[in-house]
Structure 1
Amino acid sequence: MRRNSILLSAYQNFFTGRPTTAIARDLLGKLVRYQGPDGVTAGYIVECEAYLGENDSASHAFNGRRTSYSESLYGQPGNIYLYQIRAHYCFDIVVQDAEEPQGVLLRGMEPAQGQGLMVKHRGMTGFNISNGPAKLVQALGIHSRQLDGQPMEGNRLSVDLNHFKIPREITAGPRVGVNLAGKDGKKPWRFYVAGNPYVSGLRKREMDLEKHGWRD
């Protein structure tokens, strides 16, 4: 891992200095918050995926690929990488040191604040409101790449590391929507709160509808 000479803040240090898979696991239960033009929305992260950069066949930076579109992935730890798939936006957090293009994609969120706004943004209620990466971004109220490349610290889009829930159990499995035939396609780098109904693709019989998979 490349080291840079810039002194990192305590917040930034959460997003570097250990394996990306460990950072992804530790993000589960943390609170993602967005101060939008119509108010604050926030939710607890219940599902995310680790992408390990130039050697990861599912990464936007695989084999050193670097474009103007993915340039933000090469930024400082804790920066925002907002990218678009067709008409949908996804929120990836840059991890590791600058020029080490690794990231964690947020895939699912349990609403905690601004639920009424989320309903307005998504036009629906229930678990489908934020049980997927594009759904999560839309529920928060983000509709562009305007924040792409910006640091989360002090930003209107950020992860609150001080307010969190603790998962009772964390499940790991293959990532969703990647090329399974790639060398890393089946790596267990997707992590989620076992039983949480806001996890994408979770079957009803697997849901913990009482405690949502959190510790007491």
Structure 2
Amino acid sequence: MERYKPLDFEFYTQPTLELARSLLGCLLVKETAKGTASGYIVETEAYAGPMDRAAHSYNNRRTKRTEIMFGESGSIYTYVMHTHCLVNVVCGGLDKPEAVLIRAVEPVDGIELMFDRRGTSTLKSLTSGPGKLTKALGITMDDYGGTFTMPPLYITEGITPDSVSIGPRIGIANSGEAASYPWRFWITRNPFVSR
């Protein structure tokens, strides 16, 4: 497969909510020794940093895990939750720890490799969740602190969504009023959206 051209740094300097929407339709690519796998981003969630009770960086919480969130926009923030690795796009700029969680992708390249990694034969469930997509694409904690502007993990231009839906984020019921913020974005009726 011919290598795609990663999006420039400037793309990641958009305001967080705009970036979360702009990422829809972009192609998430991971190159590994076993091959390249990719998928169109079909679902995202925005996390607006210190003022957002659902964000890991709420109240400017700076830990070993969240350190990269205080770095350059376009950096890769991976973390483990319930044994699953999740991947986020850092945004907001230096010392403004905001991020966009990539929740689901539509498989494009390396589908057989994805099936092998996931141990499933059902296309629809292959990448329809934040833990599923990282396992399928081969995204791990080793990607933490890298940048989406260059291989092995990067984002390129993709498709333009026909319609985008907006609603509350998932799995953050204990975050007060932040639980109802309409900061989840997804490509309407895409079968790979997590729910």
TM range (shorter): over 0.9
- Name the aligned partner's letter for residue 167 of structure 2: G
- Name the aligned partner's letter for residue 68 of structure 1: K
Q: TM-score, normalised by structure 2?
A: 0.93
RMSD: 1.2
Structure 2 match to 1:174 = 168
Contact 1:180–1:186 (Cα < 8 Å) also in 2: no
Structure with greater Cα Rg: 1
> Which consecutive residues of structure 1, in runs of 5 or more, have no partner in the other structure?
1-9, 202-216
Structure 2 match to 1:38 = 34
Q: TM-score, normalised by structure 1?
A: 0.84
* Aligned counterparts of 1:193 and 1:200: Cα–Cα separation in 2: 11
> Which consecutive residues of structure 2, in runs of 5 or more, have no partner in the other structure?
1-6
Contact 2:165–2:185 (Cα < 8 Å) also in 1: yes
Ranked by relative contact order (alpha carbons within 8 Å, sequence separation 6 or more), the top structure is 2
Superposed CA deviations along residues 184-211 of structure 1, whole A, max 9, x for unmatched, are 111000000000000002xxxxxxxxxx
* Aligned counterparts of 1:58 and 1:23: Cα–Cα separation in 2: 18
Give the share of equivalent positions with the same residue, in percent. Answer: 38
* Aligned counterparts of 1:119 and 1:31: Cα–Cα separation in 2: 19
* Aligned counterparts of 2:175 and 2:31: Cα–Cα separation in 1: 40
The reply on whether 1:139 has 2:136 as its aligned counterpart is yes
SS in 1 for 2:56: coil
* Aligned counterparts of 2:179 and 2:53: Cα–Cα separation in 1: 7
- Name the aligned partner's letter for residue 198 of structure 1: F
**Which one has the bigger helix percentage?**
2
Aligned residue-pair number: 188
Structure 1 match to 2:191 = 197
4+ runs of 1 displaced by more than 2 Å?
none
Structure 1 match to 2:3 = none
Deviation at 1:86, TM superposition (A): 2.3
